[in-house]
Amino acid sequence: MTKETLRKCIGCFNNKNCQTMIKITRESSSGKIFINPNSKIFGRSVYLCYNDLCIANSFKKNKLAKFLKADLTEELKEKLKTIHKE
């Protein structure tokens, strides 16, 4: 029996299974930000639910940038806004 891995969404602060969430990682060595990276990339990570409200809440008060401790580009923001619609 495997244990379910729970992570907290920074948009709604609910705990959910990490396999059902968007993972955003800032790589520790280069500082580059990846969306849904493989598990071999090490760095600071945050999780978001796949819905508009959580994604919008993560941009309010620059919450996503604060959790990642990095500046976000407009390209990354647009990619996040359209990722759940794919």
Q: What is the pLDDT of residues 23-67, one digit of tens each?
A: 999 998 898 999 987 778 889 999 999 998 999 999 998 999 999
Only one residue has tokens 């994604």, namely 55
pLDDT at 63: 93
3-state secondary structure of 22: strand
Distance CA 17, CA 6 (A): 5
pLDDT at 13: 95
pLDDT computed for residue 68 by the predictor: 93
Exposure string for 23-47, b = 16+ CB within 10 A, e = fewer: bbbbbeeeeebeeebeeebebebbb
Distances (CA, A) of 65 to 10, 39, 40, 58: 11, 21, 22, 9
Residue 69 has pLDDT above 70, yes or no: yes
Average pLDDT over residues 67-76: 91
Can you list the domains of the chain with their CATH numbers?
Answer: 6-83 (3.30.1230.10)
Which amino acid belongs to residue 40?
Answer: K
